[in-house]
A and B are shown apart, each in its own frame.
Chain A
Amino acid sequence: MLGQIGLGSAADLFQSIPEDLRLRGRLNTPAALSEIELLATFESMARQNTAARRSSFLGAGAYSHYIPTVVDHILSRSEFFTAYTPYQPEISQGTLQVIFEFQTLVCQMTGMEVANASMYDGSTALAEAVLMAERVTRRSKIISSSAVHPEYLEVVQTYVQHAGIHLQQSLYCTDTGTTLTESLAALDDQTAAVIVQSPNFFGCLEDVASLSDAAHRVGALLIVAITEPISLGLLKSPGACGADIVVAEGQSFGVPLSFGGPYVGLFATREKYARQMPGRLVGEAYDKQGRRGFVLTLATREQHIRREKATSNICTNEGLIALAATVYLETMGRRGLQEVATQCAQKAAYAAKRIGGLEGFSLPFSAPRFNEFVVRAPINARHLLSMLAKDRGITGGLALSRYFKDRPNDFLVCVTETNTRKEIDAFVEALRSITAS
C-alpha cells in the first residue's frame, strides 16, 4: 500500500512532523502480552481485590443488586456496543428507540415530564442541575442539604467554582437524620435552588413536599438527588412531591459495581424547562412516507452548534449504560420493580431491628428509611469494620468518619434483595461477638 501511494517507508507517513519532535527509540511501555498472559495478569490483580469476594452491606451511592442475565447479553450485542452516537438516524434506529424508551422510563420512575439521554453519573448530573437552575432563575445562590452524598457536593463545588454560583449547606437534624426546614433560613429571593437527597446519605426519607413548598415560596427550584433509585419502586416520586429537577445515579438499574464506573446519570425536569436541559435528547420524527422513527433533537442547546453558549459541554454520555438500565427496567417491569423495592425495605428493616437491639449498639436517626441506616457502635466503627472483614469475611458497611469526622463510631449499613437472612443473621452475630469480647 505504501508503494501504491508513492511512499517508501512507514517513516515517510510522518514527514509533516518536524524531525526533532519525532520520538527516537521506542516507548517505554510493557512488551506485548498474548491472550493467555494478559488474562493471567488481570486475574492476578483481581485476586488482590479481596473485598469483591464476600458478603457485603456497603452502599453509600453504589449498590449490589441482582442483575438479570439478559442485561449483559443484550449489552454485548455488537450492534449496540460498537456503534457511536446516532448521528445518522437511518442506520441508528436501534440506539435511538432505546434512548426514547429510556427517557420515558426515567420520566415514569421519577414522576417528571422530560428526561435526557443520560449524564456521566449521579454526581455530575447534580452539578449540571445546579448550572441549569442558575440559567432558569438567573439567581446565583444554591442551598444544599448537608445530608446529600458528600462526594456529590464536592463535585458540585468543583463545577460551580468559576460560575459565580455560591453553594451553601444547611444543617440536618441530628435526631431525625433529615434536613431541618428551619435551617433553610438562608432561603430568599436570591436563591436559585434547594438541593435535597431522598433517601438521603444516611438512608433517611426527607419530607420532599415541604422542602418543595419552601423553595417555591421564594421562586427557587427544588432539585432532588437520588443515589438509590430502586427506592422509586415503593416511594412517592419526586415529581409528585413538587420537584423541578430530578437527578439520580442509575447504577442500581442493572449495572455492576465495577469499582465506581461506568455508571449512568439520570436527569429529568418539567416540560417548560426542556430547552434549558443539558445533554442529548431523542424525539419522535417521521419520514416522507409517514413512517415513525426517532432522531436526536433540540440540538440547538448543544456544544457542537452553540459552542460557548451551549447549555453544557457534554458530548459523549453514557449510552451503553443507559441501555443496561433500559433492559433492566423492562425486564423487571412494573411488578418486579415493586417487589425488589419491597424486599430491600423489608430486609433492611429486619437488619436494623436486630442490630439496634444489640447490647451497646443504637440507631441514632429516627426518620423512616428505605434500605440504608446508620448504626452507632460501642467502639470505633473503622476498627469494628476492619475486624469484621479480617476475622469474619464480612464487609459491614461504611465508616461515616470517612466523610464526617465527628462521627467516629457511626457506620452506614445497606441491605438489598441480594442479602439473605442467613447473611444478615451472621452479620448481627459477628457484631455481637466482636463487641462482647
Chain B
Amino acid sequence: MPRQKLMRKIDKLPTFKGFKPIGKAEDAVPVVMCLEEYESIRLSDYINLSQVEASVVMGVSRPTYTRIYDMARKKIAQAFIEGKPIVFEGGKVYFDSDWFHCNSCDCYFDHLRKEILVEKCALCGSSMIEQFVDIRKEADSSEIRCAGRMLGLTKGCRGCGILNNI
C-alpha cells in the first residue's frame, strides 16, 4: 500500500466553484481541480512565491509541491485547449485557522508570518501550544481543539478540519 499523502494547508479558498468555456456544450465533462492545486496556482503565480516558500506555506516538501503545481498547470492547459469547464473540488487539505491556543496560560493568539513555524506562546512563552480550530461554523456546536500539525509531522488528526471531499 502506498504511503498516505500529507495534509496540505490551504490559506484561501476560491470564492466560486469553477470556470465554464464560452460557446461550448454545457454538458462537457469538467476537469476536476483539487483545492491544493488551486492554492498552488495562487501561491506561485498570483502572489509570486518561490516553490520553496510556497511548499512551506502549504506544509509539504518542495518536490511534492512541484508535483502539485505541475498537475495544476496540466489541468489548466487541458481545460483551455479542449474547452472543458473547470471545477474546484476535493483534495487532501485542511484550512489554516490562524489562531493558536496555549495550554499553559489558556490564551489564544494569532500568527501573522505564516512562513515561520509557531514554536511558543506569544504571551507566556510556553511551548504547550496547539492550533485552534473552530469547527462550530462547519459542523456541530461542540468545540474540538486539535494538537495536530505541531511541526507538521502528525498526519491525519481528526480535529483539524480534514476535508477529503468537499
Real binding pair: no
